Homo-oligomer: A and B are copies of this chain.
Amino acid sequence: MSLAESASAPRARRADDQRRRILDAAVACFARSGFHAASMQQICAEAGMSPGGLYRYFPSKDSIIEAIVERDRAEVPELLAPLLQAEDVVGALVEAGVRFMSGALQTEGLPIYAELCAEAVRNPHIHAIHERCEQEIQGLLVQVVRRGQDLGQIDPALDAVEAVRLLSALADGLATRLVLDPGADLSGLTPMFERSVRRFLAAQPEPGQ
């Protein structure tokens, strides 16, 4: 490491901290008021920063939304990577789905995810961000399903790309329901999810599961 590099390292760390502080503040504001109603001023106040300080890191609300989606996306490969080594591929997929659903219950993510979908329909820039994020997740899951097919644990006749679309739609839909439906809970929906995924992926449906 050169002298210049060692001098700039604390500065880079401070910039990372500041960005994180702004994104956390923005998540709280967006969850509370929505993308449109939340103002840059509110985000500044929540982060305890001046507008000048905030605009140095993010020139617009869109750039903040983009950074939030990117940050969430960065966690996904780490979350899904173990699936590429799992002995029991289907069991590991079920477990990852349940972890995803219980995560949805503990974060401010749902209103932001739902609003992101709404925005993606009308804003091409947000649509592109959403699309890039989805492609990485779907791509990883398709690899997992193909590996399960190679190992003889998943029906080799299934179209892996379409099967991953169905499984992702199911997990997204269940996460939404867990947050919004007062009667829904993980203990009731987990066995349904497991039955659905196992039977859907099986070459020959397992009897009586």
A59 interface residue, CB < 8 Å from B? Answer: no
Instruction: Tell me, yes or no, whether A189 is within 8 Å of chain B by CB.
Output: yes
Interface check A102, CB cutoff 8 A: no
Contact call A114/B115, Cβ cutoff below 8 A = yes
Instruction: List B contacts of A120 (CB < 8 A).
Output: 180
A188: chain B residues within 8 A (beta carbon) = 159, 162, 165
CB pair B165 A121 closer than 8 Å? no
The answer to whether B196 touches A200 (Cβ under 8 A) is yes
Given the complex, which residues of B lie within 8 Å of A112, measured CB to CB? 118
State the Cβ distance, A204 to closest chain B Cβ, in Å: 5
A117, chain B: closest CB distance, angstroms:
4
With A34-B118, A114-B114, A205-B199: A169-B176 Cβ-Cβ less than 8 Å: yes
- The stretch of A40-48, A50-58, A127-135 in contact with B is A127-135
Q: How far is the CB of A199 from chain B (nearest CB, A)?
A: 4
When the two chains form their complex, are residues A122 and B196 in contact, meaning their CB atoms are under 8 A apart? no
On chain B, the residues within 8 Å of A168 by CB distance are 173, 177
- Asked whether B179 lies within 8 Å of A166 as measured between CB atoms, the reply is no
Q: What residues on B are CB-neighbors of A206 within 8 Å? A: 205
**Given the complex of chains A and B, what is the CA–CA distance between A41 and B109 in angstroms?**
32
What B residues does A166 contact at CB under 8 A? Answer: 170, 174, 189, 192-193, 196
Question: What 6 A-B pairs come out closest when comparing CB atoms?
Answer: A205-B205, A173-B173, A169-B173, A114-B118, A199-B199, A114-B117
